[in-house]
Amino acid sequence: MKLLFVADPLEGFKTYKDTSFSMMREAARRGHQIWACTTADLVWVRGARVVARDARAITLTGRDDDWFEVVAEGELALADTDAVLMRKDPPFDSEFFYATHLLGQAEREGARVFNKPAALRDHPEKLAILEFPQFIAPTLVTRDERAVRAFHAEHQDIILKPLDGMGGMGIFRVGPDGLNLGSITETLNRNGAQTVMVQKYLPEIVQGDKRVLVIAGEPVPFSLARIPQGSEIRGNLAAGGKGVAQALTARDREIASALGPILAARGLLLVGLDVIGDCLTEINVTSPTCFQEISQQTGFDVPKMFIDALEVALAG
Give the whole-angstrom CA distance, residue 298 versus residue 278: 22
Report CA Rg, the chain. Answer: 20
At 204, phi and psi to the nearest 5?
-65, -5
131 part of a folded domain: no
Measured from the Cβ of residue 74, the count of other Cβ atoms closer than 10 Å reads 11
126 part of a folded domain: no
248 part of a folded domain: yes
128 part of a folded domain: no
List, for the chain, all residue ranges whose pLDDT scores fall below the cut of 50: none
129 part of a folded domain: no
Overall number of domains in the chain: 3
Same domain, 145 and 210: no
Same domain, 24 and 52: yes
Same domain, 210 and 196: no
Q: Using the 3D structure, point to which of 148, 166, 201 is the last residue of a domain.
A: 201
Same domain, 87 and 104: yes
Kindly report the pTM of this predicted structure.
0.95
Same domain, 222 and 290: yes
pLDDT at 63 (0 to 100): 94
Same domain, 194 and 221: no
Same domain, 292 and 210: yes
CATH number, domain containing residue 70 = 3.40.50.20
130 part of a folded domain: no
Same domain, 144 and 219: no
The DSSP line for 280-296 is EEEEE-SS---HHHHHH
CATH number, domain containing residue 281 = 3.30.470.20
Task: Cite the active site residues.
Answer: 126, 161, 211, 226, 234, 274, 282, 284
Same domain, 194 and 209: no
pLDDT, tens only, 248-268: 999 999 999 999 999 999 999
144 part of a folded domain: yes
pLDDT, tens only, 146-195: 999 999 999 999 999 999 877 778 899 999 999 999 999 999 999 999 99
Same domain, 239 and 285: yes
11 part of a folded domain: yes
pLDDT at 88 (0 to 100): 97
Same domain, 192 and 211: no
Across 276-296, b (16+ Cβ under 10 Å) vs e yields: bbebbbbbbbbbbbbbbbbbe
pLDDT at 58 (0 to 100): 98
The whole domain housing 14 covers 2-115
Give the whole-angstrom CA distance, residue 103 versus residue 119: 12
Q: Using the 3D structure, point to which of 183, 201, 219 is the last residue of a domain.
A: 201
Same domain, 191 and 269: no
- Give the CA distances from residue 266 to residues 27, 57, 135, 206, 208, in Å, rounded to whole numbers and listed in that order: 24, 30, 20, 33, 29
Q: Using the 3D structure, point to which of 184, 201, 218 is the last residue of a domain.
A: 201
Give the whole-angstrom CA distance, residue 131 versus residue 280: 11
CATH number, domain containing residue 151 = 3.30.1490.20
Give the whole-angstrom CA distance, residue 290 versus residue 115: 17
- Give the CA distances from residue 27 to residues 121, 191, 304, in Å, rounded to whole numbers and listed in that order: 27, 48, 8
pLDDT at 168 (0 to 100): 73
